[in-house]
Amino acid sequence: MSGSAMDLVTPIQKLQSWAINSLLLATDIEEGVGQRFVRATDFSPPMEIPAITKTNLKKAQEDTETIGAITAQAAMAICGNWVLAPMVSGNNDSNHPVINIGAFGETTVSVIQLAKALIWGPQQYLVLATAHKFSKCREYGY
């Protein structure tokens, strides 16, 4: 789908009304709902956060958890309940279009700590969060 985030509400509500059980509706939005839909909250790419871990890991984790919580609230506003985030590949290929800015850093520790924080944020709102885009971790040494 395309358009604004609010354009999603009616069709999603209709789908939910047809379902016998509540549907799980997943969206790849590690940078917030605005990453995919206009007029919604979006955040800077995850690669901007790891710099904070070098001096203050706790602050980086708190900020990342907040991003996850805000993303969950925005997803709920458009009737979503499953966030495909965080991406858990390390940034070890600056030419890769996704890993380059979508990773939580170059080190395994940074990626793991920030990924855990981003997963915890949505859980506070009963929104699922799923680590993804890590299928090549072994190839990259993670």
pLDDT for position 9: 86
Other Cβ atoms closer than 10 A to 56: 11
Domains and CATH numbers, the chain: 5-129 (3.20.20.300)
Sign of CA dihedral 40, 121, 141, 53: positive
Q: What is the mean pLDDT of residues 114-134?
A: 88
What pLDDT band is residue 50 in, cutting at 50, 70 and 90?
confident
In 3D, which of 46, 28, 44, 47 has the Cα closest to residue 36? 28
Beta pairing, strands 82-83 & 128-129:
parallel
pLDDT tens, 60-104? 999 999 999 999 999 888 888 999 888 787 777 777 776 777 778
Residue 138 pLDDT greater than 70, yes or no: no
Give the separation between CA 74 and CA 78, rounded to whole angstroms: 7
What are all long-range contacts of 12-17, with beta carbons under 8 Å and residues at least 24 apart? 12/78, 12/79, 12/80, 13/79, 16/79
Which pTM value belongs to this model?
0.83
